[in-house]
Amino acid sequence: MDIISHGLYGWVVFGNKNKKQFRLSAAFGVLPDFLAFGFPFAVGIIAMLSWDGNMFSGWYHTQPNYIHYIYNVTHSLITWAVVFGALRLIYKKPVKASFAWLLHILIDIPTHSLAFFATPFLRPISNYRFNGIAWSNRVIFIPNLIVLAILYSIYFYKKYRKNYIHN
């Protein structure tokens, strides 16, 4: 799924307690893609500015293989379980917002095809990847917008009820 939807899902599903939870859940929701693409993106921007006259030559020269490596690590259920366990030990309770990361992986499994970043959810135990339908396909993209609209309508409706009706 696209990174904005991931953030919105993390936010609405796990961050509905308070502002801090909200931000933390959205952050965990985008983290797997942010770690894989954020750094190369930043490097690409800097390279674009400092390269010769050609804006895009810098960008192309800095598209590294490690994107795939980071992507494989951040999109594995095993990595998530290890981080979840570590956070649990540190904070002595499950960190609810980190479930947004789990949700990210679960959403990515059916919404990526083998042609574009299929989700390596069992790495490093297995390299199996499910051949789903790309999220950019309208049969995924439009229902995704509808589901998000429904979730946020419920969220704001509940918030409205709490603030204005039950006071």
DSSP assignment, residue 51? S
Helices (H), 34-137: 39-50, 55-61, 66-74, 77-91, 99-108
- Cβ closer to Zn ion: 34 or 155? 34
CB 124 within 8 A of CB 78: yes
Q: In angstroms, what CA-CA distances link 85 with 81, 95, 136, 148?
A: 6, 9, 33, 29
> Closest CB to Zn ion among 33 and 102?
33
| 108 scored as a contact of Zn ion (CB under 5 A) | yes
Residue among 147, 152, 156, 108 nearest 131 (CA): 108
Of the candidate spans 11-19, 33-41, 126-134, 143-151, the one that interacts with Zn ion by CB under 5 A turns out to be 33-41
Q: Shortest Cβ distance from residue 1 to Zn ion (Å)? A: 7
Give the binding range for Zn ion (CB under 5 A) out of 49-57, 83-91, 105-113, 137-145.
Answer: 105-113
Should residue 10 be labelled a site residue for Zn ion when binding is judged by CB under 5 A?
no
Distance CA 133, CA 112 (A): 6
Which of residues 12 and 119 has its CB atom nearest to Zn ion in the complex?
A: 119
Among 25, 33, 97, 144, binds Zn ion (CB under 5 A): 33
Would you count residue 111 as binding Zn ion (CB under 5 A)?
A: no
Q: Which residues bind Zn ion (CB under 5 A)?
A: 32-33, 108
